[in-house]
Structure 1
């Protein structure tokens, strides 16, 4: 089977409509703000560095957000999971340095190669076997290390400007203390409202003239060169499978979901082909956005948190169509505003990841995976998350060999955080 069997889309849409709630929509909005305010600027910078025209740059944004949004809506309905399809942010950073050395058509060809290789490895079962045989604690140690910066960035912003970001955090936790109120008004909404009010009070919202304009695609034709494949395809491939997708798989495991591994690789691979047609770089399954949508801020019942991901998909499609005006509008608020919201939305995800990583078996491997992931260093063009899993596994194999025998016998206990 190409991808795992899921639910009927129409039935899922009916369930979504019956259980829609402000918390899920607000969480989807937070994830959207996180994935557009900074990353959108990174893509625009990469386009500028690569000598692309304004039309090509807008087409790039249109591709990654339109395909990402539609794919996210599909995945959330088919599997009823809070899983988000997006694009590689580190990949966009890398492309800002590499694109000036290649014709744009060569870059398009390199993007297609990434999609082909990812699809082949997934359809042959290689990808699923690799992911399924990674001990959950090691995976969660990696997730905790990757996401740690979101927590530290949140409190760094609060310490530097407590009158704005400190108030946002305080409002979030104070509202959580009143459980009855928190069920009616999600704490993340309180954080958003208090943050906007504080920014306005201190005149930190920058007015920018906006003009309504629907984004238009610009078709891109590929050419293939060995140099582009080596310099663009290879590092992008490792970013896709070893940095982005693996994060999202780990996040969903941490939340206790049954993960459709094939779908989480196949759908972005197909999205990569479509992205390339309009000059956009490869699609991925997004770790941080998935973490936000999988958090309790998306709803008390985790079986309905897919509504947050679906909401983000809707917001992404809207962003894609209005790419130019929204790229301008996100400049109105400081980047710290989004950083704080992302950290608050993922707070429970941190808790679950750490409990799952260090409460049972493979604790030494999980700890090594955590520290390696925190470094965020790339070795041989392979990102820290993949090295974190490899070195975590190696550590466990050396000092925790008994845990592997227990896992092989399927007797390993699932940490409470994953249940």
Structure 2
């Protein structure tokens, strides 16, 4: 009996941890681009249902533990972008276009190869710049609302040492307790699940400022690493079916407020690893259970939204920032790992983190443009050199580049190597 329940329990844990760790980021992102209370609650419910349906469909069809999630980095991008001209309907239109781009990446492999050709330092730096503002929120919260922020941050710090998987969910529970003790209560708040249709509209600024960066962040930070995690456990499902399914789900969920559905990255290891089941052929049960659990949790999206609305905005951002610290660390490492790409990566990071809005387009796009131009400039300058231009080499001095191995040089495609994630090996 225990053996039968093991993958089911693993799937439930995957969903609870993923939902509790990042739903505050999703709500903060939707509110930042103009969603009201009902629209934000509807967006969260739409994402839960879309995630669950696609996970169940892919799991039953391919018998592979494919966990589907919302784009947490994409939600952080929305926070950094802020309200766009035209309000939430324009943002919804951008969500739909981003979903169509994900679908196109599955139907036309050349588009996926273009995304993979973005140098790793540039992709990592753009993501780091997007995440920075939220990740400093815990520090600001400690200074501005210490009575509620200190217990939350201390809980997270202690559990990150002894039970890392539960650090953010338990910190969220502490935040909920603080809200219950200091807030006005839930009596006046409608906690029923809600679906609110927003008729999308489109603008060129939103396409460039939201749709394109959302597509790029979702591909580079979720789908590509998610495939690498699955490959690390020996699973190689066809990426085409995953991109088409998640892209269509994103497009259909956009009018209800959902921003992006994609392959899970970090939480995928919870269902794909040996903790889900010793038999790799049975681990798909965990992903199906995860999908069903996500649909059930979606019913509570109204309550989750109410808790966020009743709390100080900075406290919500602080919890979201704690959830994203690991993603920020990974992004920074990938941005500076290649010495030859560091200058372009730093330029990308600085421009993205600046919050610059130019011609109505947000900083994430301009950071990508600035980093790309720096990369091209350095490559052109390097290719223009001739042997006569190079300084004489003193053969008595060891060449420092000799120890860098064959992978030294320009940043390659943003395709992580399939390395087994850290953790127990069964």
**Is 2:111 aligned against 1:127?**
yes
Q: Relative to 1, partners in 2 of residues 1:291 and 1:60: Cα closer, same or farther, differing over 3 Å?
A: closer
Measured in 2, the distance between the counterparts of 1:176 and 1:128 equals: 35
**Is 2:350 aligned against 1:371?**
yes
Larger displacement relative to structure 2 (358-367 or 73-82): 73-82
Equivalent residue for 1:8?
none
Q: Relative to 1, partners in 2 of residues 1:142 and 1:121: Cα closer, same or farther, differing over 3 Å?
A: same
Name the count of aligned residue pairs.
378
Measured in 2, the distance between the counterparts of 1:204 and 1:281 equals: 27
Equivalent residue for 1:3?
none
What's the TM-score once normalised by structure 2's chain length? 0.64
Which of the residues 7, 26, 37 maps onto 1:35?
A: 26
Measured in 1, the distance between the counterparts of 2:108 and 2:44 equals: 32
Which of the residues 62, 67, 72 maps onto 2:50?
A: 67
Deviation of the 1:320 alpha carbon: 4.7
Measured in 1, the distance between the counterparts of 2:144 and 2:374 equals: 38
Larger displacement relative to structure 2 (88-97 or 373-382): 88-97
Which of the residues 167, 192, 196 maps onto 2:172?
A: 192
Equivalent residue for 1:340?
318
- Counterparts in 2 of 1:12-161, with a 5 A limit? 16-17=7-8, 19=10, 25-36=16-27, 38-39=28-29, 41=31, 46=35, 63-71=46-54, 80=65, 84-85=69-70, 97-98=85-86, 115-116=99-100, 119-120=103-104, 122-161=106-145
The question of whether the paired residues in 2 share the 8 Å contact of 1:176 and 1:187 is answered with yes
Structure 1: gaps (5+ residues): 1-12, 49-53
The question of whether the paired residues in 1 share the 8 Å contact of 2:195 and 2:256 is answered with no
Deviation of the 1:373 alpha carbon: 1.7
Structure 2: gaps (5+ residues): 277-283, 384-405
Deviation of the 1:354 alpha carbon: 2.0
Q: Relative to 1, partners in 2 of residues 1:62 and 1:341: Cα closer, same or farther, differing over 3 Å?
A: closer
Measured in 2, the distance between the counterparts of 1:404 and 1:381 equals: 39
Q: Relative to 1, partners in 2 of residues 1:312 and 1:330: Cα closer, same or farther, differing over 3 Å?
A: farther
Q: Deviations over 1:297-334 (max 9, x none)?
A: x79x7997x99998986675346545556544542333
Q: Relative to 1, partners in 2 of residues 1:25 and 1:336: Cα closer, same or farther, differing over 3 Å?
A: same
Equivalent residue for 1:275?
253
What is the RMSD of the two structures over their aligned residues, measured on CA atoms? 5.2
Which of the residues 275, 292, 295 maps onto 1:317?
A: 295
What's the TM-score once normalised by structure 1's chain length? 0.65
- Secondary structure of the structure 1 residue equivalent to 2:260: strand
Bigger radius of gyration among the two: 2
Equivalent residue for 1:398?
377
The question of whether the paired residues in 2 share the 8 Å contact of 1:355 and 1:417 is answered with no
Measured in 2, the distance between the counterparts of 1:208 and 1:254 equals: 46
The question of whether the paired residues in 2 share the 8 Å contact of 1:65 and 1:319 is answered with yes
Measured in 2, the distance between the counterparts of 1:281 and 1:99 equals: 13
Equivalent residue for 1:51?
none
Equivalent residue for 2:211?
237
Q: Relative to 1, partners in 2 of residues 1:379 and 1:303: Cα closer, same or farther, differing over 3 Å?
A: farther
The question of whether the paired residues in 2 share the 8 Å contact of 1:153 and 1:340 is answered with yes
The question of whether the paired residues in 2 share the 8 Å contact of 1:128 and 1:262 is answered with no
Measured in 2, the distance between the counterparts of 1:58 and 1:18 equals: 27
Measured in 1, the distance between the counterparts of 2:204 and 2:373 equals: 28
The question of whether the paired residues in 1 share the 8 Å contact of 2:124 and 2:334 is answered with yes
Q: Deviations over 1:189-219 (max 9, x none)?
A: 4423433444444x2353333557554676x
Deviation of the 1:133 alpha carbon: 1.3
Equivalent residue for 1:10?
none
Q: Deviations over 1:328-365 (max 9, x none)?
A: 45423333333222222222332232223223332222
- Counterparts in 2 of 1:377-392, with a 5 A limit? 377-380=356-359, 382-392=361-371
Q: Deviations over 1:271-306 (max 9, x none)?
A: 244236xx436742479xx688589xx79x7997x9
Measured in 2, the distance between the counterparts of 1:418 and 1:138 equals: 23
Deviation of the 1:169 alpha carbon: 1.2
The question of whether the paired residues in 2 share the 8 Å contact of 1:157 and 1:336 is answered with yes
Measured in 2, the distance between the counterparts of 1:110 and 1:368 equals: 26
